[in-house]
Chains A and B, each alone.
Chain A
Amino acid sequence: MLKSLHVEGTTLLHRLSVRTKLAVLFAASLAVFLTVDPFVLGGAVLLSALVFATVGVSFSQAVSRLAWPLVSIGLVAGATAFFETPVHGLVVLFRFATLILLAATVTASTEVGDFMEEITRLMMPFERLGLVNAADIGLALGLVLRFVPEIATRYESLREAHAARGLPVRPLKMLAPLIILTLKDADMIAMAIDARGLRRH
């Protein structure tokens, strides 16, 4: 079961600074829009997949992390292929697949705490301009990375509860209780953050 997006390890990617990894991800997200050649973009997908494979994520974990994002992109790419051209659809698919693989590589090789610290540091200039609260943005990002796997755990519990009662397990049927339980958890987490004084007032 997916419990954390981070994978422990000592690979080169684990040792790289968070700032470097975010800079590469940012550069890649621009670079994939500089070309519409499906062969170049296909190569980018392969390269990203190879990089992702080096962080030590098992195959089953990779499937549970990437399946839904890739299905979503597949739908968008399918719609693009249908309304425009198949080549356009392929370009969309390859672009976003590259970015998802690279983003998954960054989250798998970076501790949530390091992420939060770096994002907070990067946001400090904007805080000085009075535009944002840097620590709150770091905390928000940390919460997403920390609690997204909890949603997967909650889904698994619901699935088991349905199976135990002999009810057919239909993902769509579980959506409503999953959203309600997640919102309840979110309320408790927000309250806990206030109780611990983690947000600036």
Chain B
Amino acid sequence: MEIRFADCSIHYGETVALHPLDLVLTERRIGVIGLNGSGKTTFARAINGLVKPSRGHVTVNGLDTSEDGPAVLGTVGFIFQNPQNQLILPIVADDIALGLKSRGVAKAEVAARVEGILMRFGIEHLARRRVHALSGGETQLVAMASVLVTEPDILILDEPTNQLDLKNRKRVIDTLAGLDEAAIVVSHDLSLIESFERVLLFHEGRLIADGMPGDVVKAYEAVALC
């Protein structure tokens, strides 16, 4: 995996959400932390092309997010803060199948891959359940399954443990730890990212610290509690 930000900045009208950034990411587990409004979600959304650079480029495995949109979306999966909003169909298995069907995957293969991903996550029993009847943790796991069934190389998770109880939080963390795919996790949950290979700290739209979790978390505390 290689994600490259080359002189990339992002503006929303007059507001600068991300100041010019040059960065290369190759690690398999990357955490992104920062105060609310620090630019971390904008940074994450820029990786899969949901937000386009106002200047510069973002490339993922050589694909430019501004020019190769559909290919980038196939490479980078995204789980939103409120995963309930990304589950489109009311039945779990139907929703997981939707991403494959829209890519023209044959019916028999769709069924096999849906079954496979449900088993991989240990949620076969949820296949015929309605998405609005799932618990928070189950919703998060189903959202992850619905994205990973299309086999992206990289998964971005925006606050994956937000509003989860301890039991569901552990379930999501365990699942995350077992993922083969590279993962970029945006989080306020500092214990979630403590075992990651690299952590980025954003503040007021700037990357102000980049390194091992312990050092970056100390820098975060200095910024947040000053």
Contact = CB atoms under 8 A, between A and B. Distances in A.
B90 A4 contact: yes
B125 interface: no
Contact of A143 (B74, B80, B88, B147): B88
B85 A188 contact: yes
Contact of B69 (A135, A146, A201): A201
A118 to B, nearest CB: 13
A196 B146 contact: yes
B48 A195 contact: yes
Which of A4, A143, A199 gathers the greatest number of chain B CB atoms within 10 Å?
A: A4
Interface string B74-105: 10011010100110111100100111001100
A112 B90 contact: yes
Interface size class of B (residues with CB under 8 A): 20 to 34
Sorting the interface of chain A by its residue count into under 10, 10 to 19, 20 to 34 or 35 or more gives: 20 to 34
B90 A111 contact: yes
Nearest to B89: A113
Interface string B164-188: 0000000000000000000000000
A56 interface: no
B132 interface: yes
Interface string B147-177: 1001000000000000000000000000000
Interface of A: 3-4, 6, 111-113, 116, 135, 139, 142-143, 146, 185, 188-189, 191-201
Interface of B: 48, 50, 69-70, 73-74, 77-78, 80, 82, 85-86, 88-91, 94, 97-99, 102-103, 130, 132-133, 146-147, 150
30 contacts: A111-B94, A112-B94, A113-B94, A113-B98, A116-B89, A135-B102, A142-B89, A143-B88, A146-B89, A146-B90, A188-B82, A191-B80, A192-B80, A192-B86, A193-B88, A194-B50, A195-B50, A195-B77, A195-B78, A195-B86, A196-B86, A196-B88, A197-B70, A197-B73, A197-B74, A197-B102, A198-B88, A198-B102, A199-B102, A201-B70
Shortest 5 CB-CB distances between A and B: which pairs? A192-B86, A113-B94, A195-B78, A197-B73, A3-B132
